[in-house]
Amino acid sequence: MKLFSSILGISIAASLLSSLPAQATNLELQVFKAIDTQDPRVRCPTNVVVTETPQPYREGSYAIDGKANLSTIANGFTIANSDDFSVTWVAKLKPQYRQCKATARIVKSGNEPFSAHSYLRMRFVGGNAYLILDMTGMSDANGLTSAILKKSVQRGNPVWSWGGTD
C-alpha cells in the first residue's frame, strides 16, 4: 500500500507540474549598424525584443512557441522564404528606419546574457526588415537538428514553433 501511495503521489505531482503555465521569455536582439552606415542621420532600432514560451512538457520532446510584435519598426510581415531548416519573414520598414542597414542577433534571454548560437537574427536592408529563424547548427539532446514546427503570420507579425527530442 505504501508503494502504491508513493507512485500515486509522484503521478499527481508530475501531472500538476506538467500542467503549470509556461513562463514566456523575452529575447533581446541587439542591432549592429553596417560598417558603411555610420552617418548619424541614418536611424536604426537599437534593439528588438521577441517572446518565446515553452509548450507544456511531452515525454520525449520539447517545443517552444515564439512571436515577434515588430509593428514599431515595420508593417505587414509575410514569409519570404522557407525550407526545412529556416524561415525568413520580410516587411517594409517604417519611414524613420528605411535607410537603416544593419543586422541583429540575440544578446539577452530574460535578464541573462546570451552567448549561444543566435538562431534568431535580423537584417535591415533595402528599406525592409527581415527576421530569420534558422535551425542550422542547432541540435537537441540526441544530436539531431532542431525542427521548425510552425511558421506563419498573425496580425501582420511573425509567429513560430520549434523543438526537438529530449
Query: Across residues 5-11, what is the average pLDDT?
Result: 36
pLDDT of residue 75: 94
Say yes or no to pLDDT of 29 above 90.
Answer: yes
Q: What backbone phi and psi angles, to 5 degrees, belong to 13? A: -60, -45
* Rounded-to-5 percentages of helix, strand, coil across the chain: 15, 50, 35
Q: What is the pLDDT of residues 103-154, one digit of tens each?
A: 999 999 999 999 999 999 999 999 999 999 999 999 999 999 999 999 999 9
Range of weakest confidence among 11-15, 37-41, 58-62, 162-166: 11-15
Written as nine digits, the cell of 154 is: 498573425
Range of weakest confidence among 5-9, 15-19, 152-156, 157-161: 5-9
Listed residue (91, 94, 95) closest to 132, CA to CA: 91
Say yes or no to pLDDT of 15 above 80.
Answer: no
Say yes or no to pLDDT of 9 above 90.
Answer: no
Q: What is the pLDDT of residues 37-49, one digit of tens each?
A: 888 899 999 999 9
Q: What backbone phi and psi angles, to 5 degrees, belong to 36? A: -95, 20
The pLDDT confidence band at residue 11, using thresholds 50, 70 and 90, is very low
Place of cell 529530449: 166
pLDDT of residue 7: 35
Q: What is the pLDDT of residues 52-108, one digit of tens each?
A: 999 998 999 999 999 999 999 999 999 999 999 999 999 999 999 999 999 999 999
Task: With H, G, I as helix, E, B as strand and everything else as coil, classify residue 68.
Answer: coil
